[in-house]
Amino acid sequence: MNEKTKLRWHEYLWVGLPLLLVLVGGAIGGLVGATATNYNIRLFRSTASRSVKYLLSGLILLMAPLIAFALSSLFIAFFGPRGGG
C-alpha cells in the first residue's frame, strides 16, 4: 500500500460519504463514519483494481449506518432512560 498516493477529488468525495453519519448519528455516527472513511482511504490507496475498490468501498458505505444503528441501540439499552421513578 502506498500511503502517499493522492486521490482524485471525486474519490475523496466518495470515501468521505460515511462522515455524513455525524449528522444523524451524533458522536457514535461520527466515530463510525470516521472509521469507515479511514478504511475507504486506505482501500483507495491500495493496488486493487478500480472496480474492486468501489465495490468494497460501497459495502463499507452500506455497513457503516447499520453498525452505527447497532451501536446506538446498545448504548440506549445500557445507558438509556430507566422506567419508573
Task: pLDDT tens for the chain, 85 residues: list them.
Answer: 556 789 999 999 999 999 999 999 899 999 999 999 999 999 999 999 999 999 999 999 999 999 999 999 999 999 987 765 4
Q: CA angle at residue 81 from 77 to 85, to 5 degrees?
A: 135
Cα dihedral angle (10, 14, 16, 17), rounded to 10 degrees?
A: 130
Residue 37 belongs to what domain range?
Answer: 19-75
What does the block give as the cell for 51? 472496480
Which among 38, 19, 37, 39 is positioned nearest to 29, based on CA atoms? 19
Note whether 7 and 45 are within 8 A (CB): yes
In a domain, 48, yes or no: yes
In a domain, 45, yes or no: yes
Domain count, the chain: 1
In a domain, 4, yes or no: no
